Amino acid sequence: MQKRQAYIIKNINDKLVMENAIAVKADKGTTSVIIYSDDYTEKVHTFLTDNNFQSLQKKPTDKFQKLLAKTLQQCDLIINMKQIKHLIQKKPQSLTLRAQIKIHKPGDPIRAVINNMNGASYKISKYFVNQTDT
């Protein structure tokens, strides 16, 4: 059965590539949406311009990482010094945006989802959330 499933998935992927389309998760439920890549890009671009996002000339990740490390070193009364080295992300990356299509709304707008798991402040945020829960 696995060979058959792999064959079907390969055919679907080939068809998507051939038609310049992508499969995107819908905003509600466990539904997937097939949309042309150009339409998806246009929806994301429209969302960014409508909400006044601006492009940066340089990535601020490294500078932000250094500032976070310096700030944590000064917070030794709040956070144990042994924990500080575990709260600093080793190789932080820029945050990534993924868009989910709102199929339940007219015009199928998008919901922007930001992946922060590799971001500089992820471990610190998670630490403080866990501290407030206990």
Nearest-angstrom CA–CA distance, 92 and 74: 21
Query: What pTM was computed for the model?
Result: 0.74
Alpha-carbon span 111 to 98, nearest angstrom = 8
Classify each residue of 78-91 as buried b or exposed e, where b means 16 or more C-beta atoms within 10 Å of its C-beta: ebeeeeeeebbbee
Contact 108, 101 (CB under 8 A): yes
Task: Please report where in the chains the tokens 């990482």 appear, as a residue.
Answer: 65
Domain ranges of the chain: 2-133
pLDDT level of residue 6 (50, 70, 90 thresholds) = very high
- The answer, yes or no, to whether residue 133 has pLDDT greater than 70, is no
Tell me the pLDDT tens digit for each residue of 7-41.
999 999 999 999 999 999 999 888 999 999 999 99
How do residues 94-124 score in pLDDT, each as one tens digit?
888 999 999 999 988 999 999 988 888 898 8
